[in-house]
């Protein structure tokens, strides 16, 4: 993408330490994207200053984590020269977030603001007004940052917005040592051949310190003046996954079809509500907020990330490696088995990474129990509906999807929306009427029912005696 490379070139011109290489990543290059064909891209931004084997030291630790820190004297000299405001006197003063990540994205925002070239311009999520200031070009999205671009180079796609997810990465020029793969199996041999073809992996930032979540005392024996978690990055096998889906499987394979279908169903159940606005009634009073009403399910939807769905497909492939198991009538079996596996993982509150068994890819530390319960209920509904369709002799796939969509709209979203609206209205009313608030609070316990109605209607109170 030329516009992105141009911005990165401007970043490098201002601070030559940030020499970078753009690495293709994500569903578009895997052949598993759904929706508009070219409205969303993912890239790793390889930090070339750290990408030579002599430039860094690394040490793999549990939970898909790798410790990476500068080793070459020239890098320390560059850090002193290009970041004079930061104290680099000792390794304990180096940390990825403060030393590298924050300065890079700050400079990227500066160069991306109002940038326009090659028929594209950097867009903002919303415009500034008297109340809300304009946002920065980059917005945080999990461990990555998202850049929004808008096409203005021709009438055909004029106004088309393109979302670009970016993540800083360090290339580790070694095969990973801690992967939990049995290379003597059918799938293991396939993966081994890819590792030989791509003898490297990437270390990227993470929004979670997974290692210290699972093992809080892992660094207890370290020097107290040193914070080793500051050197920790997450191991990413995105290049291997891309090779697997785009080349080994192929975009028309059963594995790719299952993954795309999982994403379609995910997007049906948890649609993007960002475009919905607050609606007013004829009197002009606000009475409905889709985003507020759908918030509980929005949180639940975080459990169904594209990476979770991809991991499910990979585990199913591990169980059924034969190509004929992913075609014809067998494809529906694979899909239903994937959903059953997902249901089991939700009940256990744990989804292990395909490559690192001790790495739970569910955001368990930040996910409520109610979200896991809601997610399990949703998958149960899906399984019941799809299982009944699968037992039919003849069925129309599009009609099946339409029916499922209607079921979720009326069963789940209507219920959640109504509940949210009632709660909002009740809170608003209670804030204005203290007497009503007291009655409502008392009515929430059975022992207070009689007392409540005695205060308001003696006849009604006798109905509960």
pLDDT value of position 459: 36
441 within domain boundaries: no
CATH number of the structural domain spanning residue 126: 3.30.460.90
439 within domain boundaries: no
pLDDT value of position 228: 74
Question: Where does the pLDDT of residue 412 fall: very low under 50, low under 70, confident under 90, or very high at 90 and above?
Answer: low
pLDDT, tens digit, 9 for 90 and up, residues 230-240? 788 999 999 99
pLDDT value of position 53: 66
pLDDT, tens digit, 9 for 90 and up, residues 106-137? 999 999 999 999 989 999 876 655 555 678 89
Distances (CA, A) of 151 to 120, 127, 148: 5, 17, 10
Mean pLDDT value of segment 47-59: 82
* 234 close to 203: Cβ distance less than 8 angstroms: yes
pLDDT, tens digit, 9 for 90 and up, residues 159-197? 888 999 999 999 998 888 889 999 999 999 999 999 999
d(CA 312, CA 208): 21
pLDDT value of position 458: 40
d(CA 371, CA 373): 5
User: What is the radius of gyration, based on Cα positions, of the chain?
Assistant: 26
Whether residues 47 and 143 fall in one domain: yes
* 109 close to 136: Cβ distance less than 8 angstroms: yes
The pLDDT mean for the chain works out to: 79
pLDDT value of position 16: 94
464 within domain boundaries: no
pLDDT, tens digit, 9 for 90 and up, residues 129-164? 555 567 889 988 877 899 999 988 877 878 888 999
* Among candidate residues 241, 263, 295, the one where a domain is terminated: 241
pLDDT, tens digit, 9 for 90 and up, residues 56-112? 888 888 888 888 888 877 888 888 888 877 655 545 567 888 889 999 999 999 999
* 50 close to 66: Cβ distance less than 8 angstroms: no
Question: Where does the pLDDT of residue 36 fall: very low under 50, low under 70, confident under 90, or very high at 90 and above?
Answer: low
Whether residues 172 and 88 fall in one domain: yes
Helix or strand or coil: residue 134?
coil
| 0.85 exceeded by pTM | no
Residue 69, beta-bridge partner list: 57
Helix or strand or coil: residue 273?
coil
Distances (CA, A) of 24 to 10, 29, 30, 306, 418: 20, 7, 10, 17, 43
Nearest to 168 by CA among 210, 205, 206, 208: 205
Would you say residue 285 has pLDDT above 70? no
d(CA 293, CA 82): 48
Question: Where does the pLDDT of residue 434 fall: very low under 50, low under 70, confident under 90, or very high at 90 and above?
Answer: low
Nearest to 200 by CA among 226, 177, 229, 224: 177
Domain containing 373: what range? Answer: 251-275+287-430
d(CA 349, CA 373): 10
pLDDT value of position 464: 34
Minimum mean pLDDT range among 69-83, 189-203, 369-383, 413-427:
413-427
Whether residues 255 and 237 fall in one domain: no
pLDDT, tens digit, 9 for 90 and up, residues 387-406? 766 565 554 555 655 666 56
Would you say residue 454 has pLDDT above 60? no
Whether residues 255 and 231 fall in one domain: no
Mean pLDDT value of segment 315-322: 97
Residue 171, beta-bridge partner list: 202
Nearest to 363 by CA among 151, 197, 162, 209: 209
Nearest to 47 by CA among 12, 18, 8: 18
Burial class (CB in 10 A: 0-12, 13-18, 19+), 346: buried
d(CA 426, CA 430): 6
pLDDT value of position 339: 95
333 within domain boundaries: yes
* 233 close to 66: Cβ distance less than 8 angstroms: yes
Whether residues 48 and 100 fall in one domain: yes
Residue 70, beta-bridge partner list: 56
| Helix count and strand count (H, E) for the chain | 17, 13
pLDDT value of position 462: 36
Whether residues 229 and 344 fall in one domain: no
78 within domain boundaries: yes
| Secondary structure E strands in 51-187 | 56-61, 65-70, 116-117, 120-123, 138-141, 144-151, 161-172
402 within domain boundaries: yes
pLDDT value of position 383: 87
350 within domain boundaries: yes
Whether residues 200 and 319 fall in one domain: no
d(CA 45, CA 415): 43
Whether residues 35 and 89 fall in one domain: yes
Would you say residue 414 has pLDDT above 90? no
pLDDT value of position 448: 43
Helix or strand or coil: residue 138?
strand
d(CA 86, CA 105): 16
pLDDT value of position 267: 83
104 within domain boundaries: yes
CATH number of the structural domain spanning residue 331: 1.10.1410
* 156 close to 182: Cβ distance less than 8 angstroms: no
Whether residues 216 and 269 fall in one domain: no
pLDDT value of position 324: 94
Nearest to 15 by CA among 87, 83, 71, 73: 83
Whether residues 120 and 217 fall in one domain: yes
- Number of domain units in the chain: 2
d(CA 209, CA 229): 8
Whether residues 85 and 170 fall in one domain: yes
Mean pLDDT value of segment 34-49: 86
* 356 close to 64: Cβ distance less than 8 angstroms: yes
Would you say residue 326 has pLDDT above 80? yes
Question: Where does the pLDDT of residue 23 fall: very low under 50, low under 70, confident under 90, or very high at 90 and above?
Answer: very high
What count of Cα atoms within 13 Å lies in the side-chain half-sphere of residue 18?
24
Whether residues 88 and 140 fall in one domain: yes
Question: Where does the pLDDT of residue 4 fall: very low under 50, low under 70, confident under 90, or very high at 90 and above?
Answer: very high
Distances (CA, A) of 203 to 67, 102, 175, 294, 392: 9, 17, 12, 35, 47
Mean pLDDT value of segment 458-462: 37
Minimum mean pLDDT range among 192-206, 222-236, 418-432:
418-432
Helix or strand or coil: residue 54?
coil
């Amino acid at each position: 993408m030329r516009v992105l490379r141009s911005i990165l070139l401007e970043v490098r011109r201002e601070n030559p330490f940030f020499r970078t290489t753009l690495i293709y990543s994500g569903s578009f290059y895997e052949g598993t994207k759904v929706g508009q064909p070219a409205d969303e891209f993912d890239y790793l931004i390889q930090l070339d200053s750290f990408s030579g084997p002599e430039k860094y030291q690394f040490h793999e630790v549990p939970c898909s984590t790798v410790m990476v820190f500068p080793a070459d004297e020239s890098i320390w000299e560059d850090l002193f020269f290009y970041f004079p405001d930061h104290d680099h006197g000792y390794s304990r003063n180096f940390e990825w977030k403060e030393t590298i990540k924050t300065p890079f994205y700050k400079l990227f925002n500066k160069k991306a603001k109002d940038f326009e070239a090659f028929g594209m311009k950097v867009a903002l999520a919303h415009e500034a007004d008297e109340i809300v200031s304009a946002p920065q070009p980059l917005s945080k999205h999990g461990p990555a940052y998202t850049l929004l671009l808008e096409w203005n180079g021709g009438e055909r796609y004029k106004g088309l917005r393109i979302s670009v997810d970016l993540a800083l990465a360090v290339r580790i020029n070694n095969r990973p040592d801690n992967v939990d793969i049995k290379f003597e199996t059918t799938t293991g041999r396939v993966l081994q051949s890819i590792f030989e073809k791509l003898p490297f992996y990437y270390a990227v930032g993470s929004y979670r310190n997974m290692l210290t979540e699972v093992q809080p005392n892992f660094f207890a024996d370290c020097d107290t003046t040193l914070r080793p978690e500051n050197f920790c990055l997450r191991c990413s096998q995105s290049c291997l996954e891309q090779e697997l889906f785009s080349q080994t499987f192929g975009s028309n394979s059963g594995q790719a079809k299952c993954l795309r279908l999982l994403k379609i169903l995910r997007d049906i159940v948890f649609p993007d509500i960002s475009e919905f606005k607050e609606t007013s009634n004829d009197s002009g009073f606000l009475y409905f907020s889709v985003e507020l009403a759908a918030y509980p399910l929005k949180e639940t939807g975080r459990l169904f990330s594209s990476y979770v769905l991809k991991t499910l497909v990979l585990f199913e492939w591990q169980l059924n490696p034969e190509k004929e198991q992913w075609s014809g009538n067998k494809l529906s079996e694979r899909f239903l088995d994937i959903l059953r596996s997902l249901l089991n993982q939700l009940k256990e509150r744990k989804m292990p990474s395909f490559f690192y068994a001790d790495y739970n890819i569910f955001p368990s530390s930040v996910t409520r129990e109610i979200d896991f319960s809601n997610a399990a209920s949703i998958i149960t509904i899906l399984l019941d509906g799809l299982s009944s369709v699968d037992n039919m002799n003849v069925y129309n796939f599009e009609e099946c999807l339409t029916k499922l969509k209607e079921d979720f709209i009326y069963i789940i979203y209507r219920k959640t929306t109504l509940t949210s609206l009632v709660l909002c209205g009740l809170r608003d009313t209670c804030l204005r009427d203290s007497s009503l608030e007291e009655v409502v609070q008392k009515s929430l316990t059975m022992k207070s029912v009689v007392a409540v109605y005695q205060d308001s209607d003696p006849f009604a109170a006798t109905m509960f005696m």
